[in-house]
Amino acid sequence: MRKHLLALGATLALSPCLLAQKIGVINSMSGPEAPIGENITNGIKLAEEDLKKKGINLQLVWEDDTGKPQISMSAMEKLATRDNVVGVVGPYTSACSNAVAKLAEKYRVPLLIPAAAKEEITRQGLKHVFRMNAPADQYASSLIDAAVSLGKPKTIAFVYENTDFGTSTTKTAKDYVAKKGIQVVADEPYPKGAADYRSTLAKVKSKNPDLVFMVSYVADAILLMRQSKEVGLQPQAFLGAGAGFTTVEFAKERAISESVISCTQWTNDVNWPGAKEFGARYKAKFGKEPTYHAACAYASMVIMAETARNAGGDRAKTREGLKNGKWNGVMGEVKFADYDGFTNQNNHQMLVQQILSGSYETVLPSQFATKKAVYPFPKWK
């Protein structure tokens, strides 16, 4: 009997493929960011299913950071030291990711961030931090490029929440419009969760901007658009940078969301391998449309698990694997490269979309377009 056990033990030790790959997940599963966090959770669950089918034995250690950086950091400490995971996928928000990134470097744990936008996260030369999604500068430049190609905007107003995500996106957007010769006429950061933005929007309206650029999470996006309608803010285009402007809840509010332009990391109508199927499966399993966060999380988990498996559960080798690897899946071509001051950043192609007849349609870049853009923004009814 003992001989058998020894033999079994030896086989297990010699074939790391058979051992479970222990991978940590940090996500905002409760708290104010939970509605988007849910997409990430579901994306990872689908990835887990698919990896099992491929014979990859996965053991996920879930940590809920409730959207707070300090909790995120203690989760990372726990995963790195107590749970001894090979790598970590997450967290969701920029503030959490930025805090956790430095810890990942300290403990030498490969960290793959699926959907946080703040640029600095991959701009501080951290060797163990990888990012799937395009950073905030891409949000801004792709949206502004879209507006410039559609019309001749001369002035722009910024309305954004004063969080890491909001200020970082707006800062790069301001630098970018300066290059394009568009004048900034209003710059309004707001504290998240206020009940009344009417006065801010009335002030923006009085400057009569050609473009209104907004950055906010889900519920504020609806509130901001409702109140824009109330005060009669009428620009050539409303540009919503990701997050709240790319959710199904937002699209459902047809009276205020129609013709709003936003950008996204992913839609289910692109021709990336498996993207359409992913969208359909997600909807069948969870009963809702996935947001780009779900696709980012799915792709991140698949890449992390496969790389960890190939590296035999070794952290250093997993890092090498991520650094040198190349993938093609639901997020298109993925490669973690160093460019423009970024380290381990996937140079991801952003998509510009517009809500037309209540659903998101890709309008730019033209090779992925499903509909022609409506420009300028139609008069409020």
* For another protein, the closer CB: 259 or 310: 259
Taking the complex as a whole, how short is the minimal distance between the CB of residue 30 and another protein, in angstroms? 6
* For another protein, the closer CB: 31 or 329: 31
Which residues are CB-contacts of 303 (< 8 A; sequence separation ≥ 6)? 112, 132, 322, 325, 327, 329, 334
* For another protein, the closer CB: 18 or 255: 255
Q: Are 61 and 23 in contact (CB under 8 A)?
A: yes
CA distances from residue 97 to 103, 135, 242, 343 in whole angstroms, order as listed: 10, 12, 17, 15
* For another protein, the closer CB: 118 or 205: 205
Taking the complex as a whole, how short is the minimal distance between the CB of residue 123 and another protein, in angstroms? 24
Number of residues written out for the chain: 381
| 93: nearest Cα among 67, 126, 73 | 67
CA distances from residue 116 to 96, 99, 295, 309 in whole angstroms, order as listed: 9, 12, 13, 25
| 111: nearest Cα among 21, 23, 16, 19 | 23
Alpha carbon distance 90, 37 (integer Å) = 10
Taking the complex as a whole, how short is the minimal distance between the CB of residue 306 and another protein, in angstroms? 32
* For another protein, the closer CB: 31 or 151: 31
Helix 164-180 / helix 94-107 crossing angle, nearest 10 deg: 100
Interstrand relation of 359-364 and 351-356 (parallel, antiparallel or unpaired):
antiparallel
* For another protein, the closer CB: 193 or 358: 193
* For another protein, the closer CB: 36 or 305: 36
Taking the complex as a whole, how short is the minimal distance between the CB of residue 70 and another protein, in angstroms? 17
Alpha carbon distance 261, 363 (integer Å) = 9
Taking the complex as a whole, how short is the minimal distance between the CB of residue 146 and another protein, in angstroms? 26
Taking the complex as a whole, how short is the minimal distance between the CB of residue 192 and another protein, in angstroms? 10
Q: Are 76 and 103 in contact (CB under 8 A)?
A: yes
Binding site for another protein (CB under 8 A): 30-32, 34-35, 38, 159, 162, 188-191, 193-200, 202-203, 205-206, 218-219, 222-223, 226-227, 229-232, 249, 253, 255-256
Helix (H) or strand (E) holding 48: helix 34-53
Taking the complex as a whole, how short is the minimal distance between the CB of residue 313 and another protein, in angstroms? 34
